Amino acid sequence: MNLQTRIENNVTVLTVSGRLDTVTAPEYEKNIREMISGGNIKFVVDFEQLEYISSAGLRGLLVMAKLLNEKSGRMCLANVKGNVRSVFDMCGFTSVFTMKDSVSEALAVFV
């Protein structure tokens, strides 16, 4: 699992690549906590490069959302497709998160 960040218009664009599973979710969580406590509260999470997500990954996202809520932050998901999308669908997460089809669209949400 790989995390790449960049800032665009004050928004942290987080590109997640690889797998978000039982093994990698804790690391994800840790990074997020750091970033959020570091002051990043606006996030676009780009799922373009993500190959796989399991329930552990979903929980990770939930944790992220909760943290941001506490900080009045906001997150938007981009490029959730394919197998990853089906998992989201299965668990009904499509309605839980804001999901956009591209990063730019997601960024536009923060404007």
Partner 1 sequence: MIRIEHLSKKFGDLVVLKDINTEIKRGEIVSIIGPSGTGKSTLLRCLNLLDYPSGGSIYIDGVNILDKKADVAKIRQKMNMVFQSFNLFSHLSVMENLTIAPIRLRGMSKEAARTKALELLRLVGLAEKAENYPEELSGGQQQRVAIARCLAMEPEIILFDEPTSALDPTMVREVLSVIRRLAREGITMAIVTHEMDFARDVSNRVLYMDEGLIFEEGTPDEIFENPQKDKTRAFINRTLSFTWRILSPDYDLYAMNAEIEAFCEKQILPKKTRYNLLLLIEELLQIYAPYLGKMILDMTIAYSEKSRRLDLICESTGEKANPLDSHGLTDDLGFTIIKNLTESIDYQWHNGKNRLEFQVKNLSHEE
Contact residues: partner 1, CB under 8 A: 21-23, 52, 54-56, 58-59, 83, 87, 90-91
Please, which residue, 44 or 50, has the CB nearer to partner 1? 50
- Minimum separation from the CB atom of position 30 to partner 1 (A): 19
Q: Which residues of 51-73 are buried (b: 16+ CB within 10 A; e: fewer)?
A: eebbebbbebbeebbebbeeeeb
Distance CA 111, CA 61 (A): 22
Q: In this structure, are residues 45 and 75 in contact, taking their beta carbons and an 8 Å threshold?
A: yes
Please, which residue, 90 or 108, has the CB nearer to partner 1? 90
Please, which residue, 76 or 87, has the CB nearer to partner 1? 87
- Minimum separation from the CB atom of position 38 to partner 1 (A): 28
- Minimum separation from the CB atom of position 54 to partner 1 (A): 5
